[in-house]
Amino acid sequence: METKIRAAIVGSTGYGGVELIRLLEAHPKVEIAAVLSSSSAGEPLAAGYPHLTEIRTDVLEAIDPASLARKADVVFLATPAGVAAKLAPEMLEAGLDVIDISGDFRLKSPQIYEAWYKKPAADPAWLERAVYGLAEVFGEDVRDARLISNPGCYPTASLLGLVPAVQAGFIDPATIIIDAKSGVSGAGRGASLGTHYAEINENFKAYKVNQHQHIPEIEQALTRVAGHEVTVTFTTHLVPMTRGIMATMYATVAGGRTQRDFIDLYRSYYENRRFVRVRPEGALPATKEVYGSNYCDIGFAVDERTGRVTIVSVIDNLVKGAAGQAIQNLNLRMGWDEGLGLNFVPVYP
Amino acid sequence: METKIRAAIVGSTGYGGVELIRLLEAHPKVEIAAVLSSSSAGEPLAAGYPHLTEIRTDVLEAIDPASLARKADVVFLATPAGVAAKLAPEMLEAGLDVIDISGDFRLKSPQIYEAWYKKPAADPAWLERAVYGLAEVFGEDVRDARLISNPGCYPTASLLGLVPAVQAGFIDPATIIIDAKSGVSGAGRGASLGTHYAEINENFKAYKVNQHQHIPEIEQALTRVAGHEVTVTFTTHLVPMTRGIMATMYATVAGGRTQRDFIDLYRSYYENRRFVRVRPEGALPATKEVYGSNYCDIGFAVDERTGRVTIVSVIDNLVKGAAGQAIQNLNLRMGWDEGLGLNFVPVYP
Amino acid sequence: METKIRAAIVGSTGYGGVELIRLLEAHPKVEIAAVLSSSSAGEPLAAGYPHLTEIRTDVLEAIDPASLARKADVVFLATPAGVAAKLAPEMLEAGLDVIDISGDFRLKSPQIYEAWYKKPAADPAWLERAVYGLAEVFGEDVRDARLISNPGCYPTASLLGLVPAVQAGFIDPATIIIDAKSGVSGAGRGASLGTHYAEINENFKAYKVNQHQHIPEIEQALTRVAGHEVTVTFTTHLVPMTRGIMATMYATVAGGRTQRDFIDLYRSYYENRRFVRVRPEGALPATKEVYGSNYCDIGFAVDERTGRVTIVSVIDNLVKGAAGQAIQNLNLRMGWDEGLGLNFVPVYP
Amino acid sequence: METKIRAAIVGSTGYGGVELIRLLEAHPKVEIAAVLSSSSAGEPLAAGYPHLTEIRTDVLEAIDPASLARKADVVFLATPAGVAAKLAPEMLEAGLDVIDISGDFRLKSPQIYEAWYKKPAADPAWLERAVYGLAEVFGEDVRDARLISNPGCYPTASLLGLVPAVQAGFIDPATIIIDAKSGVSGAGRGASLGTHYAEINENFKAYKVNQHQHIPEIEQALTRVAGHEVTVTFTTHLVPMTRGIMATMYATVAGGRTQRDFIDLYRSYYENRRFVRVRPEGALPATKEVYGSNYCDIGFAVDERTGRVTIVSVIDNLVKGAAGQAIQNLNLRMGWDEGLGLNFVPVYP
């Protein structure tokens, strides 16, 4: 009988944490060894999440790296910005491997982190060692990494839709505009006027225009791929729905490439990567078509009138944009099939 | 290597059919051998359901019982009312086992069927042989049945919430009132003014009051359990959401039973049945807490002021109320663990 | 040129208060003299409610009865439970007339108030003088009242649907069950997990079963109409929508009355009252059909099989259930047409 | 006593038509003389729209220009594409003034109309005489016009947000990208899979990318304002909500203009036009903030990093994007205050 990897989840009371629990429950090679929470230690997990009644009987534990290292092999950090910066090094030093779902280890530059996150950056030595786990693009780096920084939800949708075209020179990187839309679960479970049902329902709003902390993350990755500095215009909107992100992206096409050329390029780039699905000519994906799953679906429209391409990329923000990709990264790190435990059919309708 | 059961699905373009596909994709002992549709034969399944892109490459087939019997062992009928009445006998005679998700074989009396469904009833001989698959109540009957009639969505939620109390004499059956609420997917995928987004959203409406065809189904089962004829008041409402049913049920309590008594009774009744979860004192379930899963969650409030109990029962109408319970019935019929392939954690939020 | 009544609104930052502003802006005989808030005094009203940009330039004022009495004639109290109990007497003694939208003056018995509201009751002398403003039933009492207690949202929908039948003996009051459903705005603007979009959307839940503070209010009014004590079973549910209440009510019919009898009775009872619309045979109202308006629409289904009537009553909880009826009460108090400033066509779709 | 203008509405069973009825009911100088429908003539208007019960008792009439001209002065055409092209000339020749809410008279070029609408264009002579009623931009043209072509919903939101900047040279017209989002009511009341609740809810999708018939309408107006040909990239998305449009627009800023410069420019351009509200620095409008009203709210973000401006413009598609602007055009045509009958406070929440 095979021994399973023992995983712990810090931040189990947030939406990212509880989605990890949903997905890991179905993983054949991982067992959930501990669920931790700084705010709710001592309470049963299912008290705050009755959908887990009789499924998980865990009591939330306080965070103690040393004792945690005795019962777990890997820890997922699903914590608010600024927490993992301190916690991850302690966990790593205690011998745990870390997959950080927060943004604390995504940006290589502490200065840029502090400018956009308005919080102290993590130790530069650990920033240096952290591996950015955009699975289909930089997945090779993940193997055997001790500290994996899981990409943000918006960057995942945006980058999977842009990287092949930027790398192949199909678009002019200086013209990239990303108009992104997200469901409300991306804001977390914290109660605020901004997440109040009556303020969101039958409403569509823009927020953090040009100021979202995912901007430098997108630019860092595009710069790496392009080989020169890339700056993007990035707008975020809140959609009256719970799950789902769409990034609608615009850029000037180089070299007269057609819709067919884009489809061929992306199909080739993502060959053998099951979680990116490139749609056929004339078809664009909708967010519900990846609901509850780890897919990222991508479609294209090229407008000969204006010489621009419109790239549409969709994900479930809590799965491919958070917990699902984190598990995919664990799979890659362990040398398992990247889809292990993740082959959910999207929930439709 | 174990041979899998080969399953076919008739009515694969409806919500019940496509949910069967989602669930069977995860079943370790079943393979989908054919997907059939009278209206869309020849078209790729994924053309109408892009969420299945690269997951299912099937082309929808026309319905031909003889040829189907050569490639499948069991057929699920997810067809509109009146279709299975004709189709099931042909399938059975061709050698296929049948699990019917429509209402055509639920009522033992052809007269009652015709009065409520306004369609010709099925052959009385087959009505006689059909087994009503309310898994946690009549599951014993299912074993080795060739024609299983899967319960309706409203009856599943209502009966699981009422049967133990009626059988134990905890409530007066003459006082039962069921106030039921359903998401819109219960109406099927057919386009109509009644399912138009702008007519449903920010709206709550009652429909088919006292006239719903699920009334005689509920009464037939309660009568069987009570040992005398039971008549209920049953109201249905449409909730602006896609999935989920709640039945809020009222009855006069007999013998001074308390909330605690009800909880104990139901926990005992559903012992070892994983898909019914009885909530603790003071807690009532919400529909989202069973979203995408095969659970039926039940809670109670007893009002000493009025001597009435309020029983709240929730399911996902497409899973426990249709495709999930159908697979649970297949599991029971085959002598497998009833939860095989069905142990999804609810999708929350 | 006619002088307008000068109205002040306390609690202008809540949904009830801001709805009063929307409606009073259209009232030909009222001007908004002051908007007050204990929590946000000094801030522009439109800062928290950008939909009022350029419409209302008021700055929120602190609450000071004496100075308020110099600039206003009547004050609407749209405050949380327990606040008006103290504030209304001060306002009245300063010379202002008061229309209280909170529940503090609805129950005549301080003991019952304290049992259900878990807060100290108002001065019994003022409780005695307060007039319960259920406009179509007790509207005569309102004329010249100095302290009008505006009914709760659930009681308005429930009582308008029950009073004629109870008064005429068409139903047995001992059998009344009220299954009520409300949109989320009824919970107010305060942020909490219970109003978080991701917790409400695609979810339907019951809450405060048998414990809602509107129960004694309904019973007090029905007792008054029936002439003997009436107790009801009352359940509340949260619907994933912003506005709207439906009360689905059940009772045993007395004397073989038919649907037609109920319609005739209610049409007669509400003759010349423009805001109650009794639907024709076979038709039941939906909440969206009164959206944004002061209507209460009522329909009936009588089931001969069970001898019960189902009465469906719908309102917009913020209009007929709060701000609209408060203005209707002001109209009645002043001897104006009760519909003055309130003749909005429902917003549909 | 003043005589009112008598208005008729063709297409009264659609969402545009029924919104005209809601708004005209509140207009002090217009009476609804007839409601017409080709598909439902003979039926009571309120049968299909129960929210109008007891408000409008009209029976829908068949369309007969000659008899209509005897009882109405002006006719609103709220008909599907292709109908007004034939109907408007007949109405005009019968002596009626026409305000066309469909797209049939918006494009001056019959060739462009036919290329984008895939239907025969209207008579060029009438296309020539039709006046494009974008009220705040071309409102002067409307006065005394016999045939007013009311702008489309997307063009209204887009053009009010772009025209001042294009005219003043604040942005480079060659760089304009419009990412537009609409609620579902924009698709009309016709039932289809694309408007099915379960397909829209919890879903966000792009549609008609680069192919929407509103593209040439936007380009025609921008070309007129710029004095040279302007081509735009225009993408439309469907938001899971009923009402509301947001256009998020991107362009390269000319001459180093700042957010403050844009605000000043737009405030100056729209001075004394009550229905355009320019938001202060740092604030962007949300669709719900104009819900049910005739406002168009506009905000700006200028990104110095990329040299681009993001302009956000919101309207209620059925009011400012259809029925409301049509009445505003009637007001302008008659020389009345443009806000007559239209001063609704937005319905919030």
Mean pLDDT of chain B: 97
- Same domain as B305, residue B179: yes
Residue A215 burial (CB count, 10 A)? 24
Domain boundary among A95, A129, A163: A129
Buried b (16+ CB within 10 A) or exposed e, C128-150: eebbbbbbbbbbeebeebbbbbb
β-sheet bridge partners, residue D206: D237
Domain count of the fold of chain C: 2
Candidates B23, B147, B153, B166; catalytic one:
B153
Which chain C residues contact residue B205 at CB under 8 A? 246, 284, 286-288
Contacts of residue C338, defined as CB under 8 A and 6 or more positions apart, other chains included, come to C135, C139, C273, C274, C275, C328, C331, C332
- Same domain as A209, residue A68: no
Nearest to A259 by CA among A302, A298, A297, A308: A302
Determine, yes or no, domain membership for C245. yes
Beta carbons of B321 and B301 less than 8 angstroms apart: no
Work out the minimum CA distance from A124 to partner chain C, whole angstroms: 36
Neighbours of chain D (3+ CB pairs under 8 A): A, B, C
Which chain C residues contact residue B306 at CB under 8 A? 231-233
Contacts of residue B155, defined as CB under 8 A and 6 or more positions apart, other chains included, come to B106, B134, B214, B217, B218, B221
Determine, yes or no, domain membership for D262. yes
Contacts of residue A227, defined as CB under 8 A and 6 or more positions apart, other chains included, come to none
Determine, yes or no, domain membership for A80. yes
Dihedrals phi, psi of A217, to nearest 5 degrees: -65, -45
A303 with D210: Cβ contact below 8 A: yes
B242 with D202: Cβ contact below 8 A: yes
pLDDT in tens, D316-334: 999 999 999 999 999 999 9
- Same domain as D170, residue D105: no
Contacts of residue D337, defined as CB under 8 A and 6 or more positions apart, other chains included, come to D331
- Same domain as B201, residue B167: yes
Work out the minimum CA distance from C56 to partner chain D, whole angstroms: 10
C197 with A240: Cβ contact below 8 A: yes
- What is the C-alpha R_g of chain C? 20
Contact status of D184 with chain B (Cβ, < 8 Å): yes
Predicted confidence at residue A3, as pLDDT, reads 87
C201 with A241: Cβ contact below 8 A: yes
Nearest C-alpha in B relative to C205 = B286
Determine, yes or no, domain membership for D61. yes
Work out the minimum CA distance from B177 to partner chain D, whole angstroms: 28
Instruction: Report the residue from A196, A200, A242 with minimal CB separation from C189.
Output: A196
The low-confidence residues of chain B, meaning pLDDT below 70, are 1-2
- Same domain as D23, residue D116: yes
- Same domain as B283, residue B230: yes
The DSSP call for residue B70 is H
The low-confidence residues of chain C, meaning pLDDT below 70, are 1-2
Contact status of D237 with chain A (Cβ, < 8 Å): yes
Nearest C-alpha in D relative to C54 = D277
| Four-point Cα dihedral A253, A255, A258, A262, nearest 10 | -70
Neighbours of chain C (3+ CB pairs under 8 A): A, B, D
- Same domain as B176, residue B83: no
A197 with C200: Cβ contact below 8 A: yes
Contact status of D196 with chain B (Cβ, < 8 Å): yes
Contact status of B282 with chain C (Cβ, < 8 Å): no
Determine, yes or no, domain membership for D37. yes
Contacts of residue D315, defined as CB under 8 A and 6 or more positions apart, other chains included, come to D153, D156, D157, D160, D244, D245, D287, D290, D295, D296, D321
Predicted confidence at residue A303, as pLDDT, reads 97
The DSSP string of D32-79 is EEEEE-TTTTTSBHHHH-GGGTTT--PBPB---HHHHHHH-SEEEE--
pLDDT of A1 over the 60 cut: no
Q: Residue B227 maps to which CATH number?
A: 3.30.360.10
Work out the minimum CA distance from A347 to partner chain C, whole angstroms: 13
Contact status of D288 with chain C (Cβ, < 8 Å): yes
Helical H runs in chain C?
Answer: 15-24, 45-48, 65-71, 84-93, 110-117, 124-129, 135-142, 153-168, 197-200, 214-226, 259-269, 324-334
Locate C14 and state its tokens.
């809540």
Which chain D residues contact residue C345 at CB under 8 A? 21-22, 25-26, 51-52, 55
Determine, yes or no, domain membership for D322. no
Question: Using CA atoms, how far apart are residues A290 and A288, in angstroms rounded to an integer?
Answer: 5
Domain boundary among A129, A163, A186: A129
Q: Are strands C131-132 and C147-149 parallel, antiparallel or unpaired?
A: parallel
- Same domain as A27, residue A61: yes
Nearest C-alpha in A relative to D299 = A206
Dihedrals phi, psi of B327, to nearest 5 degrees: -70, -40
Contact status of C240 with chain A (Cβ, < 8 Å): yes
Locate B323 and state its tokens.
């495709």
Q: Residue A81 maps to which CATH number?
A: 3.40.50.720
The DSSP call for residue C44 is B
Q: How many CB pairs under 8 A join B and D?
A: 56
Nearest to A330 by CA among A88, A135, A160: A135
Candidates A33, A72, A142, A153; catalytic one:
A153
pLDDT of D1 over the 60 cut: no
Mean pLDDT of chain D: 97
- Same domain as D162, residue D298: yes
Residue range(s) defining the domain that contains residue D125: 5-129
- Select from B237, B245, B289 the residue whose CB has the most chain C CBs within 10 Å, as the one to mutate to test that interface: B237
Contact status of B185 with chain D (Cβ, < 8 Å): yes
Determine, yes or no, domain membership for D59. yes
Question: Using CA atoms, how far apart are residues B217 and B225, in angstroms rounded to an integer?
Answer: 13
Give helix D214-226 / helix D135-142 axis angle, nearest 10°: 80
Contact status of C348 with chain B (Cβ, < 8 Å): no
- What is the C-alpha R_g of chain D? 20
Which chain C residues contact residue D25 at CB under 8 A? 343, 345
Contact status of A206 with chain D (Cβ, < 8 Å): yes
A292 with B347: Cβ contact below 8 A: yes
Which chain C residues contact residue D293 at CB under 8 A? 51
Question: Using CA atoms, how far apart are residues A285 and A299, in angstroms rounded to an integer?
Answer: 6
Question: Using CA atoms, how far apart are residues D287 and D246, in angstroms rounded to an integer?
Answer: 6
Instruction: Report the residue from B15, B192, B202 with minimal CB separation from D191.
Output: B192
- Same domain as B178, residue B119: no
- Same domain as C107, residue C187: no
- What is the C-alpha R_g of chain A? 20
- Select from B202, B252, B287 the residue whose CB has the most chain C CBs within 10 Å, as the one to mutate to test that interface: B202
ipTM: 0.97
Predicted confidence at residue D120, as pLDDT, reads 97
Query: Collapsing DSSP states into helix, strand and coil, what is residue B91?
Result: helix
pLDDT in tens, A234-244: 999 999 999 99
Q: Is residue B296 among the annotated active site residues? A: no
Determine, yes or no, domain membership for A73. yes
Contact status of C317 with chain A (Cβ, < 8 Å): no
Q: Could you tell me the pLDDT band of residue D16, with boundaries at 50, 70 and 90?
A: very high
Locate D107 and state its tokens.
């494009």
- Same domain as B175, residue B114: no
Work out the minimum CA distance from D270 to partner chain A, whole angstroms: 23
Domain boundary among A79, A96, A129: A129
- Select from B177, B207, B231, B236 the residue whose CB has the most chain C CBs within 10 Å, as the one to mutate to test that interface: B177
Which chain A residues contact residue B346 at CB under 8 A? 22, 51
